[in-house]
């Protein structure tokens, strides 16, 4: 199987020249928090297969919802036609979304949700007929997806450098860095002093800025950087002051991952546009929603109350299977009290990780929010100097852990976990024991 995979499939993210031998692990089945490969070896999926499998693999309720929907309607064109699962999903999401969000547009994945948000915001300022605002603001280190618009607002050189001539006009103020806070503060009791970079950017260029896009509470690809709630509160205020749209990219952090249903809830703020995907279908099907306020939606009417065009649709927009699965996912949240249970579980996760890293040398910081835990390893604990990135410390640990049967993820000098919400005590212990052994084995 591996040979055929290599012959026919390009895995762009893992087949890079600086990666060591690439051998895909071919997975045959999944159940609960475990994946099983074609040789019968099991792996604990400690990253919910990249934020998506919230309830583990092969969840019976979702399986049933999927099969039931497949037996009724697998797909229908979404232009001039609609269907029950899409309507039910839209209603459910509006009921739980931050206040003021009132209308959804369907997309296929996180990148397309971001793409729609950028297009909406850009066109919004033309619709309301004010100054032509053509610039976006995104933080350094931001990650918002892989399509050209989403890449443009991404701030990770590795992903977008080569495409620079194609990218949108984006201003990139320095983002928060709580572990190495230049103000010597702590994320839990600071006044988000680092917001001054954003403030300055907006004060100087607000006439040209259409939207600010942000990953609320956690800049994931930037290094699982968890930042202060105050930053978001200040950002909302600033956007209001200058009539700039705030786009919350909840693609990764939405659906309970940070301990609240949406990460914006930590700061009790509502964005003008919110993007969700990943956990929306609990790992079953690609689907996304771009959710907006009346302010945005109403701008697309003229004085005769005739809708002006916002042109965006995909062949699979509002796919009934995806919608039915998403409805079931949201039902599980409600009926099984997932957010409440997560709060208890995340406390346990925090305690257990703290215990497991207690005597590991080189731990710079352990940071955690909700069901996300990240360990940053450093060369020097006192100065916080990191290891040379070329050593790819996280990646070396990741490889050892995979061999031992736990799939965690590396990010530079960081290894992180975000297990399915259904993980039990025993499985948490197993996951952390392997992570600990792998870190120690690497450190020698």
Which residues contact ligand PMP (rule: CB under 6 A)? Answer: 109-111, 114, 143-146, 215, 220, 249, 251-252, 277
The full 3-state SS of 152-192, as one line of letters, equals HHCCCHHHHHHHHHHCCCEECCCCCCCCCCCCCCCCCCCCC
Q: Which two tokens stand for residue 164?
A: 């620079």
Q: Which is nearer to ligand PMP, 32 or 176 (CB)?
A: 176
Instruction: Tell me if 111 is assigned to a ligand binding site.
Output: yes
- Radius of gyration over alpha carbons of the chain, in Å? 22
Rounded to an integer, what distance in angstroms lies between the CA atom of residue 128 and that of residue 226? Answer: 35
Least CB distance to ligand PMP at residue 7 (A)? 25
Least CB distance to ligand PMP at residue 14 (A)? 15
Instruction: Tell me if 409 is assigned to a ligand binding site.
Output: yes
Rounded to an integer, what distance in angstroms lies between the CA atom of residue 42 and that of residue 49? Answer: 14
Q: Which is nearer to ligand PMP, 368 or 438 (CB)?
A: 368
User: Please, is 64 exposed, middle or buried when counting C-beta atoms within 10 Å of its C-beta (0-12, 13-18, 19+)?
Assistant: exposed
DSSP secondary structure letters along 44-57: EETTHHHHT-TT-B
Q: Which is nearer to ligand PMP, 116 or 428 (CB)?
A: 116
Instruction: Tell me if 125 is assigned to a ligand binding site.
Output: no
Encode burial over 275-286: b for 16+ CB neighbours within 10 A, e otherwise: bbbbbbbbbbbb
Instruction: Tell me if 143 is assigned to a ligand binding site.
Output: yes
Least CB distance to ligand PMP at residue 288 (A)? 7
Instruction: Tell me if 322 is assigned to a ligand binding site.
Output: no
Q: Which is nearer to ligand PMP, 220 or 261 (CB)?
A: 220
Q: Which residue has the tokens 């019968």?
A: 40
Least CB distance to ligand PMP at residue 136 (A)? 14
Least CB distance to ligand PMP at residue 399 (A)? 21
Please, what sign has the CA dihedral across residues 254, 258, 262, 264? negative
Least CB distance to ligand PMP at residue 65 (A)? 21
Residue whose Cβ sits closest to ligand PMP: 110
Q: Which is nearer to ligand PMP, 143 or 227 (CB)?
A: 143
Helix (H) or strand (E) holding 96: helix 84-96
Instruction: Tell me if 67 is assigned to a ligand binding site.
Output: no
Least CB distance to ligand PMP at residue 258 (A)? 12
Q: Which is nearer to ligand PMP, 168 or 440 (CB)?
A: 168
Q: Which is nearer to ligand PMP, 82 or 147 (CB)?
A: 147
Rounded to an integer, what distance in angstroms lies between the CA atom of residue 56 and that of residue 68? Answer: 20
Rounded to an integer, what distance in angstroms lies between the CA atom of residue 111 and that of residue 106? Answer: 12
Instruction: Tell me if 82 is assigned to a ligand binding site.
Output: no
Enumerate the known binding-site residues for substrate. Answer: 50, 143, 278, 313, 409
Enumerate the known binding-site residues for pyridoxal 5'-phosphate. Answer: 110-111, 249, 314-315
Enumerate the known binding-site residues. Answer: 50, 110-111, 143, 249, 278, 313-315, 409
């Amino acid at each position: 199987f591996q040979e055929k995979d290599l012959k026919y499939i390009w895995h762009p993210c893992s087949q890079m020249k600086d990666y060591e031998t690439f051998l895909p692990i071919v997975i045959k089945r999944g159940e609960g928090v475990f994946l099983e490969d074609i040789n019968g070896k099991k792996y604990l999926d400690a990253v919910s297969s990249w934020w998506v499998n919230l309830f583990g693999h092969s969840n019976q309720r979702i399986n049933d919802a999927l099969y039931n929907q497949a037996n009724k309607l697998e797909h229908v064109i979404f232009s001039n036609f609609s269907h029950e699962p899409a309507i039910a999903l839209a209603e459910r999401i509006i009921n739980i979304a931050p206040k003021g969000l009132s209308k959804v547009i369907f997309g296929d994945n996180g990148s397309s949700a971001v793409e729609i948000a950028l297009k909406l915001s850009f066109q919004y300022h033309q619709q309301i007929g004010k100054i032509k605002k053509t610039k976006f603001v995104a933080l350094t280190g931001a990650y918002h997806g892989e399509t050209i618009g989403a890449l443009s607002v991404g701030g990770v050189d590795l992903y977008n450098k080569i495409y620079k001539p194609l990218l949108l006009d984006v201003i990139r103020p320095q983002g928060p860095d709580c572990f190495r806070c230049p103000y010597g503060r702590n994320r839990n009791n600071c006044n988000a002093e680092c917001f001054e970079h954003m403030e300055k950017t907006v004060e100087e260029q607000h006439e040209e800025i259409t939207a600010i896009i942000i990953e609320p509470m956690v800049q994931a690809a930037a290094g699982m950087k968890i930042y202060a709630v105050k930053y978001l509160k200040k950002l909302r205020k600033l956007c209001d002051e200058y009539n700039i749209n705030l786009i919350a990219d909840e693609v990764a952090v939405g659906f309970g991952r940070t301990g609240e249903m949406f990460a914006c809830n930590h700061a009790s703020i509502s964005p003008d546009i919110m993007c969700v995907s990943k956990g929306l279908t609990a790992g079953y099907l690609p689907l996304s929603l771009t959710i907006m306020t009346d302010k945005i939606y109403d701008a697309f009417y003229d004085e005769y109350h005739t809708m002006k065009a916002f042109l965006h649709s995909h062949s699979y927009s509002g796919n009934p299977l995806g919608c039915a699965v998403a409805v079931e996912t949201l039902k599980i949240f409600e009926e099984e009290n997932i957010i409440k249970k997560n709060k208890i579980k995340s406390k346990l996760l925090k305690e257990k990780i703290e215990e497991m890293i207690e005597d590991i040398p080189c731990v710079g910081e352990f940071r955690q929010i909700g069901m996300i835990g990240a360990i940053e390893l450093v060369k020097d604990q006192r100065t916080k100097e990191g290891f040379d990135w070329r050593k790819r410390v996280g990646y070396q640990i990741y490889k050892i852990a995979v061999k031992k049967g736990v799939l965690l993820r590396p990010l530079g000098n960081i290894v992180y976990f975000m297990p399915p919400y259904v993980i039990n005590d025993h499985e948490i212990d197993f996951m952390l024991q392997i992570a600990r052994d792998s870190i120690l084995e690497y450190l020698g």
